[in-house]
Structure 1
């Protein structure tokens, strides 16, 4: 008898709570999970420039991205002892062939003082890609100047790139604003290295060795 009396309230309690538990589970499944904040990513790169007949120097580039936000700093890019800082907005479209485009705005200080505007763009396909970074320094001396670095690469495998490169710069004092050449790059998961050979058929050759760490 006592067991029957105890079982009756238990059955009533189970019947009352079961719909609540089911409804709570349905509401939990119906609500989408909270979106996670985008993580930081970026890279640190050093370019050892070895111009024939001139002193070697290192150009440094640091990049940090979080979602659409792009932050970048450069040293010895617009000139020796010049330091530039940028903020940009990351845009991208496409899958099989993808275009990534980042307009940037910033300033340069040190040996050169100016506001700087420009962009970075990458077009990526299955076995090839093209990259260009461009900036215009209106107050560069003796007149405004456009700096650029571009690459056109073939990728037979994911970890190896080979192709053509060009840069427009005033840092090299060899009478050539535009340097043209070839390059090869090996890429790991977080570390990459490359060798660039500009003006290979002239006496104004420039060799650039780069090492980059990504995170």
Structure 2
């Protein structure tokens, strides 16, 4: 199976294995780092996932068994960056733990997708500052075998139209290529602006995916009947 067919599982059993929280066959990142979980789409896998209570998956469509409720479902796409032209950016700075409050504030303003207090530990994040303020950033998230996901691409509204997002995607891609990995990314299928940008940069559609959150409700239902 290709690593990008099960990117969360591949990452959590490979480069990101030290971050993995396990319950039987179910794996997930620490909740303060990332929302993503992975488990087999069979009876045993769903049973093991009960230990997490709530799980968020990225991949093929699933049908939740009895006792589970789908609480979020977003159609998405997975893009392959094999053909992307990459180049370092002299203005991009590496962001660190001290920058996290500013990064979280930028994410809150721009909503690029999940970015949490410890997401920065998943890979390298680059930013561009203007007058000392962080106005754009992008970085790495999941790292399936041989691949690295570009994520949290965002630009403050007042700094848009200057190509900062494109520059940062290329710069993050350059670092990924330098260590021998291939860039890829996920995006919401209806985010037309982002998809145009990624295709302009050389990304190609690999497949459609679903981003889904499931909550285990059976235990709560049983408790309410007591």
Q: Given the two structures, how large is their TM-score scaled by the length of structure 2? A: 0.25
Greater strand content = 1
Please tell me whether Structure 1 or Structure 2 has the larger radius of gyration of its CA atoms: 1
Q: Given the two structures, how large is their TM-score scaled by the length of structure 1? A: 0.26
